[in-house]
């Protein structure tokens, strides 16, 4: 590691989903394709598979927008066996100053965490492994001392309990999501401490009312959920990335005083994730 790299090495710290993003980990979609259907979105696009060249161009544009907005973008190496590797959010997550490496549910993705661990060691960054149950970072949404964790096909109660044990100063809240939903961030995301985007049909009535009491909500339709209406990425307070196709959601955000940067990600979303899924924040101010 060079002297400059040492000086720039981030200290992991993420207390929210919307603070100024300073350091983030991505992975280029060099080998991205739908090989084995593991979610409903992939099933839809199976006969119109991912154009890898277009996906790489879109990801390059995504990284440029981040860098143009002052974000230090770091990349883990893409490896041919791992066609889902672009979704770095799933393989790890940061809560406060603790970086966790996920325990993946699907065998097709378990090798990605090994690559992440090797990369973190090269960067001199410490982390904790989740060893109980299974959990993926797409199911983890941080709001200060409150952490929402979605119970999905990928994340279970055992993992939630381990997170709570390791972070006793946090309130870790498990939220059951509809069985066909991939991750919590596909149906719920925070824009700021008083504003959330959510897909109401993904939750039971009790959890839905809990969200509505805590946040003003921009509620999206089934079609908007399919096209990743909640899967925005905040890069600063009241500034975020969103898909240009989600016109109604973007307009609702702008009415709330949010700067919306529209980036085409049409190839990336074919595998079931968008901007939040493609980013592993290490540090937010």
Which residue in this structure is represented by tokens 């860098």? 67
CB 105 within 8 A of CB 154: yes
Pick the catalytic residue from 94, 186, 277, 278: 277
Exposure string of 72-108, with b = 16+ CB inside 10 Å and e = fewer, is ebbebebeeebbbbbbbbbbbbbbbebbbbbbbbeee
- Cα 148 versus chain centre, distance: 13
Does the annotation mark 48 as catalytic? no
Which residue among the candidates 59, 183, 186, 278 is catalytic per the annotation? 183
How many helices and strands in the chain, by DSSP H and E? 8, 15
Q: Which of 264, 284, 191, 272 is nearest to 232 (CA)?
A: 191
User: What 3-state class would DSSP assign to 54?
Assistant: helix
CA distances from 165 to 95, 103, 172, 176, 196 (A): 13, 16, 10, 20, 27
CB neighbour class for 205 (10 Å; exposed up to 12, middle 13-18, buried from 19): exposed
With tokens 């939903």, the residue in question is 181
Strand partners, 129: 101
Strands 98-101 and 92-95: antiparallel
Q: Check if 183 is active-site.
A: yes
Residues that are catalytic: 183, 277
């Amino acid at each position: 590691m060079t002297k400059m790299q040492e000086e720039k090495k981030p200290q992991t710290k993420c207390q929210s989903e919307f603070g100024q993003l300073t350091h983030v980990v991505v992975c280029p979609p060099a080998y991205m394709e739908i090989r084995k259907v593991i979610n409903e979105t992939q099933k839809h696009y199976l006969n119109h598979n991912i154009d890898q060249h277009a996906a790489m161009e879109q990801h390059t544009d995504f990284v440029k927008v981040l860098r143009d907005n002052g974000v230090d973008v770091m990349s883990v190496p893409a490896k041919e066996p791992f066609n889902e590797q672009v979704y770095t959010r799933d393989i790890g997550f940061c809560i406060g100053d603790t970086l966790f490496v996920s325990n993946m549910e699907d065998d097709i993705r378990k090798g990605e965490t090994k690559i992440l661990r090797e990369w973190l060691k090269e960067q001199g960054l410490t982390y904790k492994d989740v060893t109980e149950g299974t959990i993926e970072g797409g199911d983890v949404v941080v709001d200060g001392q409150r952490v929402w964790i979605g119970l999905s096909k990928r994340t279970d109660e055992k993992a939630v309990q381990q997170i709570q044990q390791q972070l006793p100063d946090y309130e870790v809240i498990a939220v059951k999501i509809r069985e066909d939903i991939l991750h919590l961030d596909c149906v719920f995301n925070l824009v700021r401490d008083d504003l959330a985007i959510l897909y109401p049909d993904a939750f039971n009535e009790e959890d839905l009312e809990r969200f509505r009491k805590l946040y003003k909500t921009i509620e999206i339709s089934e079609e908007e959920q399919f096209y990743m209406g909640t899967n925005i990425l905040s890069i600063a307070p009241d500034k975020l990335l969103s898909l240009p196709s989600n016109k109604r959601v973007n307009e609702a955000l702008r009415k709330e005083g949010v700067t919306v940067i529209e980036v085409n990600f049409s190839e990336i979303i074919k595998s079931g994730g968008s901007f939040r899924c493609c980013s592993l924040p290490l540090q937010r101010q």
